[in-house]
Chains A and B, each alone.
Chain A
Amino acid sequence: MSQSILEQTSLRSPIQESSSIKPKGGRKVADMVPPLMLTPLIDAFSLLVIYLLLSYTSSGEFMMMSKDMQLPVIGLAEHLERQIIIKFESGVYYVEDQQVTKDELFPTLLKMREDFREKYPEIESYNQVIIQADKKEKFLDLNYIIHATAQAGFEEIKFAVIRGS
């Protein structure tokens, strides 16, 4: 009884009928758009975040590797920590990305160790080096590095490898 005659007899407005905010009058039309199920989406996102967080590791970030370089794959690899990196790639030696000749390896390593002490005081031992080379390189080329590291007083060598199964 509260509705007036004018309201009941007024012309139908197609715009107001189809309004999704406040539809007025007319027949109720079934919503053709299915509601978006957000719960499975959030479940999937959460699982992805958990997986990525678990597989997140900070090791190896300091080591840059070109796409042509293939490291040997072994199963007994140990955790790699920050040390001086000596790289041999395409016939060129690099000590911490600084290109050197094989004769310059020894003096550069001595200087680099002092720089390392200042730059990374948190490192436990400064008597270790990381050697990074392609798996097809001949041992003769790496021999110069081993000689230079022995002369410079590095006691331990860490050969960079890829952890395999």
Chain B
Amino acid sequence: MAGASVGKKNKKSLDFELNLIPFIDLLSTCICFLLLTAVWIQIGSLNVKQAVGGQSAAETKKVPALWAQMEKNGSVVLKLHDFPGAISRQIGGNQIVIPGTTEGKINFEELEVKVTAIRDLLPELSTGLVMPKPENDYESVILLMERMKKAGLASLGVSPI
């Protein structure tokens, strides 16, 4: 009996209370720091090669290339350079005109379809050159290059005026 009573008196609670206040402080500081240093606008880049190179014409290996000449009215002329004759005939000539929209903008959907169709005929085609006009805005040049890249032209260049 005496032993039991002594045991009851020494009984301590086994629940350990974790002090959460420093943990909350740490988390709050982390959140403040991350919110202040967070970059909300994700900036990326569209990489293109210089169309004007240092190599001479003799040194340059002739590979099929697709030139996209932008016009003021939103139309785009696709010119086939160094394409095999059979494929040019299949396409129906060395150039394809893609008319612009009624608002004078580029018809990007049709352009992508045409470039994809050309690339299906010539899968090794990977070079594209964009030739803008001085009046074309920067956004349309970028969007045109994006569509060409999307259609499978990995090596893109922009030609200065």
Contacts and interface: CB of A to CB of B under 8 A. Distances in A.
A133 B28 CA distance: 38
A80 B44 contact: yes
Interface stretch (A19-27, A53-61, A90-98): A53-61
A150 B52 contact: yes
Given A78-B44, A150-B160, A139 B137 contact: yes
Contacts of A45: 24, 27-28, 31
Interface in B19-44: 20, 23-24, 27-28, 30-31, 34-35, 37-39, 41-44
A59 B46 CA distance: 15
Nearest to A51: B34
Interface majority SS (helix, strand, loop, mixed), chain A:
mixed
Contacts of B42: 57, 59-60, 77, 162-163
B136 interface: yes
Interface stretch (A10-18, A67-75, A115-123): A67-75
Contact of A79 (B44, B132, B135): B44
B70 to A, nearest CB: 8
Interface stretch (B5-13, B57-65, B138-146): B138-146
Contact of A139 (B30, B37, B50, B141): B141
Nearest to A80: B45
Interface residues of A, number: 53
Contact of A138 (B50, B134, B142): B134
Contacts of B149: 76
B1 interface: no
A42 B142 CA distance: 45
A76 B39 CA distance: 19
Interface string B45-56: 111111011100
A-B CB proximity, top 5 nearest: A77-B44, A140-B134, A135-B139, A52-B34, A60-B43
Interface of B: 20, 23-24, 27-28, 30-31, 34-35, 37-39, 41-50, 52-54, 132-139, 141-143, 145-146, 149-150, 158, 160-161
